[in-house]
Chain A
Amino acid sequence: MSALPAHDALLSLRGLTTVFPTRHGEVRAADGVDLDVRPGECLGVVGESGSGKTVTFLSVLDLVRRPGRIEAGTIVFDGRDLRRLPPEALRAIRGRDIAMTMQDALTALNPAFTVGAQIAEVLEAHGRATGRSALDRAVQLLEQVGVPDPARRVGVYPHQLSGGLRQRAMIAAALACQPRLLIADEPTTALDVTIQAQVLDLIADMRQRLGMSVVLITHDLGIVAERCDRVVVMYAGQVVESGPTRQVIGAPAHPYTAGLLASMPRLNQTRAAIRPIEGQIPDPARLPPGCRFEPRCPRRRSECLQPVPMRDIVRAERAFGARAVRCVLAGAAP
């Protein structure tokens, strides 16, 4: 991947580094993250808890909680570097151009306000509507995201809705201003399995209707395989592999991606065939000096003890999109 922001991307991150001071020194929760989101595409961002996927996208909106801070990198959205914008200009972009939904709508919606008020205030904050007309628009939005009886639901409090409807209400608030990019952070983790597919269908449907890009943050490669055009795999704060979903899942180039795939239960597999990845994600304050996956990697070798850069993989399928991987084995025969 080039060190320069991509011209054709809606959002382009280069070298994004977000650090948190801890007792054992600074922890780089996101460490030199490069990624692009193209107009209209659905990008999957996969990794275990603590891999830095949520921190990366909180950084995009400058919502990292202090004492955490963005240390380096560029965040170019629609040709503008968000890190150079004054706070008020960035606030105007939040919710209007870039929206974000949180993992659990129960905690993301304020318990003290009605669902309608929490949707209407987005319209008011961005000057789209006020008062009565904002509430009327909130009813329409609830209807759009498939909440039955929206005229009544607009006046209820979050705890009075079921988990699935709450998630829909949160999505309605996020999409109120028809953003060009939706960052959906683990949109199904807090939901019953039966509701998960419905919410993913809703996001796909709204993506098509609004022509927006979607970043789907998840730890579930299965969701990525079904829903995303491209995928970025993160491990211990770094991107370790990226490329078109089919190629990455069909032939993972990084042993970590391969490990994630092998540890996924499938219907046509017996229990014994599921192979979990040995070991645990490293302590972010004491990362291995070379490849961060090296201690757990079944294919490690001596070169892995040196830092490994991201490298483009040149293949015949290149026309489908760039593939890059952070592994010394890249391109070598497995």
Chain B
Amino acid sequence: MTPLKLAERILQLVPVLLGIAVIAFVMMALTPGDPVEIMLGDARSTPEQRDALRHDMGLDRPPLERFFVFLGNALSGDFGLSFFHRRPVMDVILERVPATVELTLAALFIALATAIPLGVLAAVRRNGWLDRAATIGSLLGVSLPGFWFGILLIMLFAVHLQVLPVSGRIGFGQEVPPVTRLLLIDSLIAGRLDSFAAALRHLIMPALTLGLAMGAILMRVTRTAMVEALAQDYIVFAEAKGLSRARILGRHALKNALIPTVTVAAIETGSLLGGNMIVETVFGWPGLGRLVVEAIFARNYPLVQAAVLLYAATYVMLNFAADLLYTALNPRVRL
């Protein structure tokens, strides 16, 4: 990867983000509902109060003008004030990002830790009982909705067995000074093992809900790619060289099979980083997903627009990271 190529990739972001900004703005403008009425409630406010607020938020100006004002401000890093919070949108969003990042990383870890070994074993023992069981398991994982599976977990572990907390990120009195804002890491930095345990206990169920669903998809991808890799001539040649079974599977086949797995994992991670609205709601997880849902219901235009732009940028950057990983896995690809 040359610096020139890197610059090219970053420049590619510009038209993508511009397009996303237009689409987000138009969709919000076309959505019925008035933020002013939602905020004030029409029964309790006078028309004068509503007009004042509308003017204050700049909503009395024509849409096209509003769009260009938004665009101009956004270019200088100002995404405006959240209608609801009356604070800069970016501050509100960035507060919620660490919770979502922590949940996403945990889910990704669970997904990879289950999907890769199971996918490899299923491919090696193709049509055996393990392969069949994994197929059924992944079908369930893909098709069971998160809200249902999440509630099932809550009923079992929080209500019935009472071993895990129902919702939230950490208990009262267990907060730790923010450094990375990822609680598992910050609690270790602070040397608070009780906080670490509390954070972990809160994280397990939402991370399992997201991670097993993602793992189900990744398992299928890994299995298919492994089956294909194992059918290649280079596997026969590796066997003819007298290599051990472990080396043939773990290096010769897996390195090639991981290429599609990495792609799908990057796409899935991108969508999780946006915050999973359903799972965050079910588990009361204070992440980005819940924030955006609330913002959409409140017609909180600046927050929704900024969040959508952030999603788009994250997606593009993750795809870029996946491309970089590709070149490490597959030397035939040159960026």
Q: A residues touching B (Cβ–Cβ < 8 Å)?
A: 58, 61, 63, 65, 91-96, 99-102, 104, 107-113, 121-122, 125-126, 157, 159, 170, 173-174
- B237 to A170, Cβ gap below 8 A? yes
- A110 to B256, Cβ gap below 8 A? yes
Nearest-Cβ distance from residue A92 to partner chain B, whole angstroms? 6
A122–B244 alpha-carbon span in the complex (Å): 10
Q: Which residues of B contact A159 (CB under 8 A)?
A: 331-332
Pick 24 A–B contacts, CB within 8 A, sort by A: A61-B239, A65-B236, A91-B244, A92-B242, A94-B241, A94-B242, A95-B243, A100-B240, A102-B233, A102-B236, A104-B233, A107-B232, A109-B237, A110-B256, A111-B256, A111-B331, A112-B329, A112-B330, A122-B243, A125-B241, A125-B243, A125-B247, A159-B331, A170-B237
Q: Which residues of B contact A109 (CB under 8 A)?
A: 234, 237
Known: A94-B242, A102-B236. 5 other contacts (CB 8 A): A99-B241, A110-B256, A121-B241, A122-B241, A157-B331
Q: Give 8 closest A-B pairs by Cβ, nearest first.
A: A95-B242, A94-B242, A107-B233, A95-B241, A108-B237, A100-B240, A110-B234, A157-B331
Q: Which residues of A contact B181 (CB under 8 A)?
A: none
Give A96's nearest chain B residue, CB to CB. Answer: B242
Which of B240, B252, B330 makes the CB contact (< 8 A) with A61?
Answer: B240
A101–B234 alpha-carbon span in the complex (Å): 11
Q: Which residues of A contact B240 (CB under 8 A)?
A: 61, 63, 94-95, 99-100, 102, 174
Which of A63, A104, A112, A157 makes the CB contact (< 8 A) with B256?
Answer: A112
Interface size on B, residues (CB 8 A): 21
A95–B331 alpha-carbon span in the complex (Å): 26
Nearest-Cβ distance from residue B64 to partner chain A, whole angstroms? 52
Contact with A along B220-264 (1 / 0, CB 8 A): 000000000000111011111111100100011001100000000
Q: Which residues of B contact A174 (CB under 8 A)?
A: 240-241
A41–B247 alpha-carbon span in the complex (Å): 33
- B239 to A94, Cβ gap below 8 A? yes
Q: Which residues of B contact A61 (CB under 8 A)?
A: 239-240
Q: Which residues of A contact B329 (CB under 8 A)?
A: 112
Which of A65, A99, A110, A126 makes the CB contact (< 8 A) with B238?
Answer: A110
- A125 to B242, Cβ gap below 8 A? yes
Given contacts A63-B236, A107-B232, A170-B237, contact A112 B255 (CB under 8 A): yes
A170–B331 alpha-carbon span in the complex (Å): 18
Nearest-Cβ distance from residue B330 to partner chain A, whole angstroms? 6
A167–B8 alpha-carbon span in the complex (Å): 38
Q: Which of B239, B240, B251, B255 has the most CB of A within 10 A?
A: B240
- B241 to A111, Cβ gap below 8 A? no
Q: Which of B233, B252, B255 has the most CB of A within 10 A?
A: B233
Residue pairs across A and B with CB atoms within 8 Å: the count is 79
A92–B244 alpha-carbon span in the complex (Å): 9
Q: B residues touching A (Cβ–Cβ < 8 Å)?
A: 232-234, 236-244, 247, 251-252, 255-256, 329-332
A58–B237 alpha-carbon span in the complex (Å): 11
- A110 to B252, Cβ gap below 8 A? yes
Give A117's nearest chain B residue, CB to CB. Answer: B251
Q: Which residues of A contact B331 (CB under 8 A)?
A: 111-112, 157, 159
Q: Which residues of A contact B238 (CB under 8 A)?
A: 110
Q: Which residues of B contact A173 (CB under 8 A)?
A: 237, 241
A61–B239 alpha-carbon span in the complex (Å): 9
Q: Which residues of B contact A113 (CB under 8 A)?
A: 251-252, 255
- A102 to B237, Cβ gap below 8 A? yes
Give B256's nearest chain A residue, CB to CB. Answer: A112
Given contacts A63-B236, A104-B233, A170-B237, contact A111 B332 (CB under 8 A): yes
A298–B245 alpha-carbon span in the complex (Å): 49
Which of A104, A112, A121 makes the CB contact (< 8 A) with B243?
Answer: A121
Which of A58, A104, A108, A126 makes the CB contact (< 8 A) with B242?
Answer: A126
A125–B243 alpha-carbon span in the complex (Å): 6
Q: Which residues of A contact B244 (CB under 8 A)?
A: 91, 125
Give B255's nearest chain A residue, CB to CB. Answer: A112
Nearest-Cβ distance from residue A130 to partner chain B, whole angstroms? 13
Q: Which of B238, B255, B256, B332 has the most CB of A within 10 A?
A: B238
- B242 to A122, Cβ gap below 8 A? yes
A112–B238 alpha-carbon span in the complex (Å): 13
A159–B331 alpha-carbon span in the complex (Å): 9
Nearest-Cβ distance from residue B13 to partner chain A, whole angstroms? 30
Give A98's nearest chain B residue, CB to CB. Answer: B240
- A93 to B242, Cβ gap below 8 A? yes
Q: Which of B236, B241, B244 has the most CB of A within 10 A?
A: B241
